[in-house]
A and B are shown apart, each in its own frame.
Chain A
């Protein structure tokens, strides 16, 4: 069909279809774009760009709060303005050539030039110089950002971050300078103005650790000890997220960085893991946590992770090829703003929804797929609502 010889000399009458009035549309569009409209459009585009670069967005790379992110942004900003300048020049030249040299009726064949050595050398050499200049600066910044400045030596805070599908574990090998080890999850607490050295590891697949306002990302690769450092200039909450695709719930693997004053930080360290005062309801919840709920198999609350309890409960659990996945440490849960890997605010209602059927909130999570209490026909917990309420009371008293 496609390759049949064309109708040659004796071609049948061509089928004509109605002319699409494209030329009229183009003409009126062209007229519209002249003068004031073009200016207005330019201003609109520029203001859209300014609105679109939103430094206040929670994970905006523009709203930096520390030297690492700042240097990275500075580099990007300079690059961006160079890019804008090149963009305007080159697109301008393209547009100018297209308009200026459009074919006019009766125009003879244009001059047949084949090139211009000087011109071609110029536009090879100038970009090369420009790029080498930017390249040298980039490499300097790269080495500068590789390690914390010498001035911070001896005063850094070490944190080991381990990526799990799909949450973050934070371990402070020496939280207070006296060798106190703290393990927590999904909310990193650091003192303001102090360089934090992060050791990045992964328990399963590759994840990536990223707090846009504090530092660019570095991947968390199993078998490898990557490092990253950052320093927060101001107190407040900063948002981070896994940036390497890591499976079903990749979108919901987030975390918070709470930048505290040194005093607040010290107070948190000192209070961590103190046996909480439990109300009667909370004590009932503790029993569910260690007993019927089986939570303790994967989740640790300091003081309650008795090996005997864990071993006793182990049998009731599904063991997949990956083995039992460790769950977030719960010791200071009630001090956190969010749970389920930075996903939702920590409050009674949300906890109830989550504990009733975690799959509704975070599809694919390992608690829903592995914990015995969720292996029901509809995925809802086999615990009674009373047990869930008690569990909530217990969890909310873990401070």
Chain B
């Protein structure tokens, strides 16, 4: 390393320099998402531990409507595709495309939330509330927090859409769209896990009186 004797070695890097070449905010989003994995992980673990442990009904098999949620799941997954298109439009400065695809993403996300509100309400009518039994407790908590994540994403995308309407989105703001997209895709992926566990697998669970489909609590290891 060449530097003048008796001097402190210095360098001239411009303000965009980062050690890894990655943008700070992108790295921040990845770090946040890794943290959020553990957040959902803990909630999902709680659900799994309490599968089939409800003392009273309604049980999942009584009220889970898989076909209905399959539709909303499909819509949410499609929204990820729209999000990708929105980013691509941003990168090629396609103003119409930006607005169109962002709007599509938002509409599909909102549809998902609409389905969720319908589902929550239907469950409530059928007698399942958050304090009814362990299924209600874990189901509403887990899907509720996921819904909150989606809603937050919708707010974020709406702000981006407003910026887009004002023509303030373009290749220079590609990162802003990309980071929102990272978040959106993450929320979608989490839903795939939730849908699989809560609906496709757990949707047939009954209560202890109706014949257990699974063993007692995962926490009670054989002794």
Contacts and interface: CB of A to CB of B under 8 A. Distances in A.
B220 interface: yes
B223 interface: yes
A227 B220 CA distance: 13
A334 B41 CA distance: 55
Interface of A: 146, 224, 227
B67 to A, nearest CB: 36
3 contacts: A146-B223, A224-B220, A227-B223
A264 B223 CA distance: 34
A224 B223 CA distance: 12
A52 B223 CA distance: 37
A224 B220 CA distance: 8
Nearest to B219: A224
A367 B220 CA distance: 34
Contacts of B220: 224
Contacts of A146: 223
Q: Summarize B's interface: helix, strand, loop or mixed.
A: loop
A187 B89 CA distance: 79
Nearest to A227: B223
Interface in B32-85: none
Contacts of B223: 146, 227
Nearest to A224: B220
Nearest to B220: A224
3 closest A-B pairs (Cβ-Cβ)?
A: A224-B220, A227-B223, A146-B223
A227 B223 CA distance: 9
Contacts of A227: 223
B167 to A, nearest CB: 44
Nearest to A226: B223
B105 to A, nearest CB: 45
Interface in B183-223: 220, 223
Nearest to B53: A223
B151 to A, nearest CB: 35
Contacts of A224: 220
Nearest to B217: A223
A132 B176 CA distance: 52
A146 B223 CA distance: 9
A264 B102 CA distance: 85
Interface string B96-130: 00000000000000000000000000000000000
A207 B36 CA distance: 34
B55 to A, nearest CB: 11
B13 to A, nearest CB: 26
A171 B223 CA distance: 23
A225 to B, nearest CB: 9
A146 B222 CA distance: 13
A224 B217 CA distance: 11
A393 B223 CA distance: 47
A351 B184 CA distance: 69
B183 to A, nearest CB: 37
B58 to A, nearest CB: 22
A241 B220 CA distance: 26
A227 B222 CA distance: 12
A303 B220 CA distance: 39
B97 to A, nearest CB: 50
A146 B220 CA distance: 16
Nearest to A146: B223
A224 B221 CA distance: 11
Nearest to B223: A227
A198 to B, nearest CB: 14
A139 to B, nearest CB: 15
B124 to A, nearest CB: 26
B68 to A, nearest CB: 35
A201 to B, nearest CB: 14
A311 B220 CA distance: 38
B222 to A, nearest CB: 12
A327 B223 CA distance: 31
A220 to B, nearest CB: 15
B63 to A, nearest CB: 26
